[in-house]
Amino acid sequence: MTMEGKPLSEFKTSNDLEAMNVQRHVPVNLRQSGDNGSRMLISQRVRKSPYWHLSEESGAWCYSVYNNMYHPRAYVPMEEGGLLKEYEYLTEHVTLWNVAVERQIQVKGPDAPKLVDLVITRSVEKVKTGKGRYVILCNEEGGIINDPVLLRPHEDEFWFSLSDSDTSLWLQALKMMKNFDCTVSEIDVAPVQIQGPKSKKFMIHLFGERINDVPYYGLMEGDVNGCPVIVSRTGFSGEDGFEIYLYNASANAEKLWYYLLDEGEPYNLKVIAPGHIRRLEAGILSYGQDMDQETNPYQVGLGWQVDLSKSEFIGKEALTRIKNDGVSEKLVGMKFGGKMIDWYPADFYMAYAENGTKPVGYVTSAFYSPNQGCNIGYAMLPNAFTTVGTELEIYLPEPYAGGLVPAEVAQTPFKASENPGTGYSRTGRKLET
C-alpha cells in the first residue's frame, strides 16, 4: 500500500503518525516492521518458571517474555491447527495453562492494608479476607502501571498477581517512604489456570463439592497430590475457570503438573497457551497491548475501577482532572476483513479514515474469532471515530491482506461470558462508550 506515492514503511515518523502520539512521553511503536523469523535466545538473563520444562514436555514451541520470565505462547503446531485448535479445546473441554509469569508479590504485616489501599484505585475494604479482586494501580499522572488480581488470603496478607510490569520495586519504595510496618517480597508461588466449560467438573473431581461454594473471585485453601495450594475462581478466558496457586512451586511443580495431566484425561484436558482469541471475544484487556502506563482508566473502559470518593490513593488528583475534562481518544472494539489472523500480530496495525489517506489510530490486539466469523480486535481511536457502526479501514500485512480491509467499530464484548463477573462484564460493555 502507498500513501501519497510513498510505501507505508516510509511513514515511520510522519507528522500524521507522530500526531497520534502527541500526548505520550514514549510513543507507541507504530513502525510496521513485521517479523522476519527471528528466534528467542534462551539464557540466564530471563527466568525460567518452575513449569518451564513441563511446558516443553507438553509441546510448547514458542515463547515471549513476560515479567522477566519465559512465557509459553503456543503448543499445537500450525500444521495441526495452531492457536485456533487451542481455542477449540478451550471452548469445548478443559485446558491447563502455565501462567507462572503472574509473579506473586506478597505484602504482609500490620500496615499491609494501608499500603495496598494507597496503591489501588478502589477501597481495600472491598477486598475481604479470603477473597480476591481485579484492581488497577496508577501512577501520579493517572497512567495504569498494572492491573493485577489482588488476593487476600489472610487479614494482614495480600498477593498482587501481576500483569506484565514489575511493580514490586515501586511497592517496596512506597513502603520505605511511608514507613509502613509490613514486608514486600516476591514469594515462591506459581499459578496455573484451569479454563473451559468442563473446568468446574474437573475441579470438583480434584477438591470435592466444596468448590461449588467458591464464588467468582473467591479463594479456597486446598491440597493437590500432597501440595498445598490456594484456588481462586478467576481466569483470562471468559470461560468458566479457576487458578491454582502452588506453594513452594520450585519443589512441587512436577507433583502438581503431572497429577493434573493424569487426573484430567477423562475430561479431555489439554495444555494450551493463554487463550487470547477467547479473551478478545470476552472483552478482556491485555496489559502492554491494550493499555500501559501512558493510558488512563477512562480511555480503556476501566473508569468503574476508580473510586474518587476515597480519601487518598496515588493518581487521584490526576484522575479527578481527567474525568472532569474528558479524554480525547478511547479503546473500542473492531470487526474487520482480511484472511483469518491466526497468529499474534507483530505490529500495531494502522487504522485509516478518508479512503485510506488518513491514519487515525491503531489496532492494539487482533485475532480471528470463530464465534464472530471474522477478524476482531481493539483499536485506540480519537473520539470522533468511536461510535459503534463507524466505518474505517485497517491495513493488514501479508498473508492476511497486504493492503487495506474494511473495518467497523463494534459493540463489546463480542461474545458474552457464561460467568463474566462484574469486572469483565463492565469492562467489555464500556469499551465503546
| Domain interval for residue 28 | 2-35+281-430
Q: Is residue 336 part of a domain?
A: yes
Average pLDDT over residues 123-148: 97
Q: Is residue 288 part of a domain?
A: yes
Place of cell 473500542: 332
CB 306 within 8 A of CB 323: yes
> How far apart, in whole angstroms, are the C-alpha atoms of residue 72 and residue 427?
26
> How far apart, in whole angstroms, are the C-alpha atoms of residue 89 and residue 96?
10
> How far apart, in whole angstroms, are the C-alpha atoms of residue 94 and residue 202?
8
Cell (9 digits) for 217 = 473471585
- The residues, ordered by sequence, that sit 6+ positions from 153 with a Cβ below 8 Å of its Cβ are 129, 130, 159, 219, 221, 230
For CA atoms 252, 158, 219, 301, the dihedral sign is negative
Average pLDDT over residues 53-77: 98
Q: Is residue 348 part of a domain?
A: yes
Q: Is residue 370 part of a domain?
A: yes
What pTM does this model have? 0.92
- Judging by DSSP bridges, how do beta strands 329-336 and 403-410 pair with one another? antiparallel
- Binned at pLDDT 50, 70 and 90, residue 6 comes out as very low
Neighbours of 122 (CB within 10 A): 20
Q: Is residue 352 part of a domain?
A: yes
Q: Is residue 256 part of a domain?
A: no
Residue 148 has φ and ψ, to the nearest 5°, of -80, 165
Q: Is residue 212 part of a domain?
A: no
**What is the predicted pLDDT for the residue at 11?**
45
- Binned at pLDDT 50, 70 and 90, residue 261 comes out as very high
As for how many domains the chain has, the answer is: 1
Least confidently predicted of 7-21, 161-175, 201-215, 282-296: 7-21
* Residue 200 amino acid letter: K
Residue 58 Cα to chain centre, angstroms: 23
Q: Give 344-376 pLDDT, tens digit per residue.
A: 999 999 999 988 788 999 999 999 999 999 999
CATH of the domain at 339: 3.30.1360.120
Q: Is residue 178 part of a domain?
A: no
> How far apart, in whole angstroms, are the C-alpha atoms of residue 281 and residue 274?
13
